[in-house]
Chains A and B, each alone.
Chain A
Amino acid sequence: MNAVETRGLAVGWGRHRVLDGLDVALPRGASLALVGTNGSGKSTLLRTIAGLLPPMAGTVSVLGGAPGAQPARVAYLGQFHPQGFVLPLRTRDVVAMGRYPARRLWGRLGRDDRRLVGEAMDRMRITSLARRPLRDLSGGQQQRVYLAQALAWRADLVLLDEPAAGLDVAAVELLARAVDEEVARGAAVVVATHDMRDALAADFAMLLAGRVVAYGPSADAVTDANIRLTFGLAGSDAVPDVALEIDPHHGHHDHPHSH
């Protein structure tokens, strides 16, 4: 049974169809990178798999059930986090929220839960921040906290929407290792990204530009021609830039653009 399986899936919101005719089959213990520019539909697809948006057409099966039916087994890390200027939460409390899907409304967080929370914080190297209020942390540190929350979930399917946003180089390494570990323990991981290196590191890649440009084992899907189509870049000299792109939010001015 595949972790994610879609047939003729169309995703979007309101009356706006973003992607159409998606046939995804992601086995357990494998990773899939959704690659595309802003607005290419990768977040919309991720949110549909998470059960936050209804499919507009076609079918989606998530771990053999409907999307959103098994919250304890599907971890989701969205792209937008609150600025948290008043939220009186400590780092540890935020990570521990990753255990709520398993413990539901009222179940006590026991020793196993505390162990998973501790491990997740170790994996993102935030153990020393455990007692610090979330609002005192930098954006990148907060992103590590939310990643640890997703890891503490210990889900069978992990959905990460641009998880590397704001992370420093060391944290990007931690993230890559964490994804490998999740896959190694049998979970399926879907990562939305615009970093081509993530796409090459994943087992499968789906390149999106309002439509599916390419989909398959990443070695087959990630080609120079497909990258050019995905990012709408005409000049061939732009391709090496994209392939090396680390973080387009911060890294743009480092690129030697020739206008």
Chain B
Amino acid sequence: MTDLVVPFLDSPFMQRALVAGCLVAIVAAAIGTFVVLRGLSFIGDALAHGVLPGVASAMILGLPSLLGAAAGAAVMVAGVSLVTRRSRLSGDTAIGLLFAGMLALGVVVISRSGSFSGDLTRILFGDVLGVSWGDIRLQGAVATVVVGLTAVCVRPFMLLSVDPDGAEAMGFSASRYHALMLALIAVTVVLSFQSVGTMLVFGMIVAPAASAALVVHRIGSMIALAGVLGCLSVWWGLAASYRYDLAAGASIVLVQVLVFFVILVATMLPRRRVAPR
């Protein structure tokens, strides 16, 4: 138990990592819930990788990496909609194509810089222990906007998960809210990559929401439970990484995925029958 608490008591960088990680977990819970319900995992994952060349270019040009990440996400979304609209190829082909292309472009850009492997590792796997209070303030502001927008749009987002035609008939433009949802996923990715990196950010978005989907029957409860599971995973993951000297971001995502499988196995166990009243 002390291993779970002590690391945070006297290490400021661990405290900052915990706060930053929990912020990401909360945003990821809100947006991840709809990613899971709508089956947008693949495009979300692609977005996460699309960020890579943006961040790499920004680093080389000496610009803020958040700016580069946002540009990368925008190119990815535009590319996917261009390919799906202008060709007969399906969405996942377009996504896969751009996914690989953007990843390759990112690596190519980074290979031009001096410190290839260090930069690449930092972008791919994040640097949650190096987060500053300034980063956290910015993340907090963005997180508030994302969670707020999600709360306002919860009805159309729910309707989109059930039936896009139904949403349209009910007066909520399916294309507009779909675009907004993609934008929110992109912002969440950009917000989170600093903490867990572009390779793992999608685990943060999908794993807690998927775990929650296994056990609850309401969307509000799903978001809440995903947030709780996400924050717990951040806490345990960081503690484990401190205790056993493991990569912090990867430890967090590993805990989240483990939590998912523990819950999955638990729900597969035969249930005791409740006696009829």
Contact = CB atoms under 8 A, between A and B. Distances in A.
B243 interface: no
Contacts of A90: 217-218
A71 B213 contact: no
Contacts of A105: 152-153, 155-156, 172
A234 interface: no
Given A50-B169, A78-B165, A88 B213 contact: yes
Contacts, number: 77
B183 interface: no
Interface string A68-98: 1001101110101110101111100110010
A94 B170 CA distance: 13
Contacts of B37: 86-88
A63 to B, nearest CB: 14
Contact of A86 (B36, B152, B170, B218): B36
Contact of A101 (B36, B153, B170, B221): B170
A94 B158 CA distance: 10
Looking at chain B's contact residues, is the secondary structure mostly helix, strand, loop, or mixed? helix
A1 interface: no
Contacts of B212: 88
A58 B42 CA distance: 41
Interface residues of A, number: 29
A76 B166 contact: yes
Interface string A95-127: 001001100111000000000000000000000
Nearest to B217: A133
A41 interface: no
Interface in B133-163: 152-153, 155-156, 158-159, 161-163
B270 interface: no
B171 interface: yes
Interface centre among A78, A82, A88 (most CB of B within 10 A): A88
14 contacts: A51-B168, A68-B168, A71-B170, A76-B165, A76-B166, A78-B163, A86-B36, A90-B218, A97-B155, A97-B166, A101-B170, A101-B171, A105-B153, A105-B156
The 3 closest A-B pairs by CB, nearest first: A71-B171, A76-B169, A133-B217
Interface of B: 36-37, 152-153, 155-156, 158-159, 161-163, 165-166, 168-172, 212-213, 216-219, 221-222
Given A86-B213, A90-B217, 8 more contacts: A51-B169, A71-B170, A76-B166, A78-B165, A82-B162, A101-B170, A104-B171, A106-B152
